Amino acid sequence: MDINKINTRILPVKFQYLAPKTLEEVISFLAEHGEETKVLAGGTDLLVKMKQRLIEPTYILNIKEIKELSFIKSNGNSLNIGATTKLNELENSRIIKEKFIALHEAVKAMGSVQIRNMGTVGGNLCNASPAADLAPPLLVLNSKVKAVSTEGEREIPLNKFFLGPGKTSLKPNELLTEIQIPYLPEDTGTSFLKVARTSMDLAKVNVATVLKLKNGKVENCRIALGSVAPTPLRVCEAEKVLLNSEFTAEKVEETAEKASQEIKPITDVRSTAEYRKEVSKILVRRALQKAYERIKVRECG
């Protein structure tokens, strides 16, 4: 029996645990020991990997005590969310439900109540799973993340953040502190859909869309998928099919077909590449229709 595949509740690795009280302490520690350190937020991804000995950090740096990293704040043109804001806070946020329903739907589709009580938005992005549920909605919302180190701050567009499974463009000395989501024009529709083996599981495929019409034609269309490539991704060629066209069933079908050609899924424990290609087509079509219906309901309402 392979001990590493059993959930023993034991962390079989030695590490030094630190819980600094200020952001300055965190970033100066990362400046010195970033390479040997793993930041701990909710721990719902990190501890699983440590139990399986996929990672064996020398230091665990708990950032949950840093109050200034947990917030949901409107800042003129964008809604800013602190990295350690818990998933359940996103789920219960009225402004997210009203202004960014795709993000609200994605959080609701994640794990269980217990996972959402522990897991954080920053952890979901920094873990860089191709299946991360918050990635597609945050990608179509043109979000940026803020990274902080002793060298200063920088903003990274989310479409430049994911480099591969478990890999991001954060440097070892950087901490992700904030996610910035620009507000959408009022008459924009968004949506999120996910197919998974069980409600507790990561996605076989997840999809998010943003749609805006002008004079009966599609003025803006963004589509992102997860669990269908090494990183969550926008399907820009598919988006182009719908742009400047009327929103007809035929055009939507063509867009969905193009999206399924653009993705590069693999077969793994959750699904087969063939299933992912087929179901992506259906999810893209349904997600676009859902975004469209949301625009129409608002127009009539």
Ligand X SMILES: Cc1cc2nc3c(=O)[nH]c(=O)nc-3n(C[C@H](O)[C@H](O)[C@H](O)COP(=O)(O)OP(=O)(O)OC[C@H]3O[C@@H](n4cnc5c(N)ncnc54)[C@H](O)[C@@H]3O)c2cc1C
Does 80 engage in binding with ligand X (CB under 6 A)?
A: no
Contact criterion met (CB below 8 Å) for 131 and 110: no
Tell me how far apart the alpha carbons of residues 256 and 290 are, in angstroms, rounded to a whole number: 14
Among 70, 85, 93, 124, binds ligand X (CB under 6 A): 124
Among 26, 79, 122, 263, binds ligand X (CB under 6 A): 122
Select from 21-29, 43-51, 262-270, 280-288 the region that touches ligand X (CB under 6 A). 43-51
Under rule CB under 6 A, residue 40 binds ligand X: yes
Closest CB 249 distance from ligand X, rounded Å: 31
Nearer to ligand X, 231 or 255 (CB): 231
Residue with tokens 């591969």: 164
- Which residues contact residue 123 at a Cβ distance below 8 angstroms, ignoring those fewer than 6 apart? 41, 42, 43, 44, 45, 46
42 binds ligand X (CB under 6 A): yes
Task: CB nearer to ligand X: give 115 or 156.
Answer: 115
The site string for ligand X over 186-215 (x = CB under 6 A, - otherwise) reads --------------x-x-------------
CA distance 96 to 263: 28
Q: Which is nearer to ligand X, 38 or 154 (CB)?
A: 38
Task: Quote the CA–CA distance of 171 and 138 in Å, as a whole number.
Answer: 21
Which CB atom, from 184 or from 202, has the smaller least distance to ligand X? 202
With contacts defined by CB under 6 A, name the span among 16-24, 88-96, 169-177, 241-249 that binds ligand X.
169-177
Contact window for ligand X (CB under 6 A) among 35-43, 214-222, 232-240, 283-291? 35-43
- Residue 20 is a binding residue for ligand X (CB under 6 A): no
Q: Where are the alpha helices (DSSP H) in the chain?
A: 23-33, 46-51, 87-91, 94-99, 101-108, 113-118, 121-126, 135-140, 236-242, 249-262, 273-300
Piece of 8-16, 123-131, 236-244, 281-289 that binds ligand X (CB under 6 A): 123-131
133 binds ligand X (CB under 6 A): yes
Among 126, 225, 235, 279, binds ligand X (CB under 6 A): 126
CA gap 253, 263 in Å, rounded: 16
Tally of CB atoms within 10 A around 298? 12
Name the residue with the smallest CB distance to ligand X.
Answer: 123
Q: Which residue has the tokens 């920088």?
A: 154
User: Of 133 and 239, which CB lies nearer to ligand X in the complex structure?
Assistant: 133
Please pick, from the candidates 44, 159, 191, 231, the single residue that binds ligand X as defined by CB under 6 A. 44
Contacts of 158-167 spanning 24+ positions with Cβ under 8 A: 158/125, 159/234, 161/125, 162/128, 162/135, 162/231, 162/232, 163/128, 163/231, 164/128, 164/230, 164/231, 165/128, 165/129, 165/130, 165/230, 165/231, 166/127, 166/128, 166/129, 167/128
Residues that bind ligand X (CB under 6 A): 38-46, 48, 83, 87, 110-111, 115, 118-120, 122-124, 126-127, 132-133, 170, 175-176, 200, 202
